[in-house]
Amino acid sequence: MKIAIVFGGSSYEHEISIVSAITVKNVLKKHTPLFIFVDANRDFYLIDSENMKSKFFSSKEYLKKSKKLNIEHGGFSASGVFGSKKVEYDVVLNLIHGRDGEDGKLASIFEFFDIKFIGPRLEGAVLSFNKLYTKFLAESINVKTLDYQLINRSGSRECSLEFPVIVKPLRLGSSIGVSVVKSQEEFDYALDVAFEFDTQVLIEPFIDGIKEYNQAGAKGKDWILSIIEEPQKEEFLDFDKKYMDFSRDERVSEATIDDNLKSKIEETFKKIYDPLFMGAIIRCDFFVVDNEVYLNEINPIPGSMANYLFEDFDKVLSEVATNLPKEKKINIEYLYINNIQKAKGKA
């Protein structure tokens, strides 16, 4: 199967997306990747496989050495001396982290142009990109989340939660703008940092020593669930550590947990995934408090697609690609207009 990997985007996580695309290139064994880069201006470029190196993008060599693409009904094409040539592939993989990829823009474009793709659809993207909406989603399906406070840039800066707390920009990932805060003085500074990236900030209690677990998966004909990982335990992973984390390509160890907790995490993942995330490979990050599972975050396009959690990542891609949701075709027959015209004697 030929997979067109779309990466980059106009996003604070642009560089993370490049790292993810390079990593996925290295882990694919059975599929042939093709690379489509979206630059900061949201122009599309076809990238030769041998040029999939971070410096090729940071130096802007792609502007001279890569073909600019047009997006059109059914896919992409490149203009040439002898006319337009279609880019051939079987399915697109949305690998843009943050804005453009995870907020629903790309999903809307792909659906509008009838482009077959692996990735979150519009509704799932919107609800997972905005951390407040993720809370609302969890509440609606009876999944627990931690207490929270929302602060607007123009609103009060008083923290209603007990310190320590964690401060997060509302619509951003990869730990960008995130701070752990232990006093009001630190809180003011953390808000200033977070407001550099967003107009709204989410505050949650920071629970030292809390148990954290990650589960990735998808649904094709049947459920495809990864192992459950207990991630590296630090106060929190900052941007630099997350940057390295997104380049992981070796399978990690499975968490040592009992069958009861494993079942709880898996069932919570399924409840979150179906039906909103059909067609996507997602990762959910969970907290466990007193043997109760809490949703921390939904990653609709996880770094390097969480390949390190699956035994056979190529098989996961195949299964999702061959069981993608299909938008209902609406036949436009102009019955209403024709009937009006007939009634007026103008048929």
pLDDT, tens digit (0-9, with 9 covering 90-100), for 123-175: 999 999 999 999 999 999 999 999 999 999 999 999 999 999 999 999 987 68
- Contact between 69 and 62 under an 8 Å Cβ cutoff? The reply is no
In words, the CATH class of domain 2-119 is alpha beta
Q: Provide the mean pLDDT of the chain.
A: 93
* HEC per residue, 267-291: HHHHHHHCCCCCCCCEEEEEEEECC
- Quickly state the pLDDT bin for 232 (edges 50, 70, 90): confident
C-alpha 288/C-alpha 303 separation (Å) is: 23
What is the model's pLDDT at position 123? Answer: 97
In the chain, ranges of CATH 3.30.1490.20 domains? 149-205
Range from 111-125, 152-166, 171-185, 259-273 carrying the lowest mean pLDDT: 171-185
φ, ψ of residue 24 to 5 degrees: the values are -60, -40
In the chain, ranges of CATH 3.30.470.20 domains? 126-145+210-321
pTM: 0.92
Q: Which CATH superfamily is domain 126-145+210-321 in?
A: ATP-grasp fold, B domain (3.30.470.20)
CATH number of 149-205: 3.30.1490.20
In the chain, ranges of CATH 3.40.50.20 domains? 2-119
- Quickly state the pLDDT bin for 234 (edges 50, 70, 90): low
C-alpha 282/C-alpha 278 separation (Å) is: 10
What is the model's pLDDT at position 249? Answer: 72
pLDDT, tens digit (0-9, with 9 covering 90-100), for 66-89: 999 999 999 999 998 788 999 999
- Contact between 110 and 99 under an 8 Å Cβ cutoff? The reply is no
Peptide bond into 300 cis (omega under 30): no
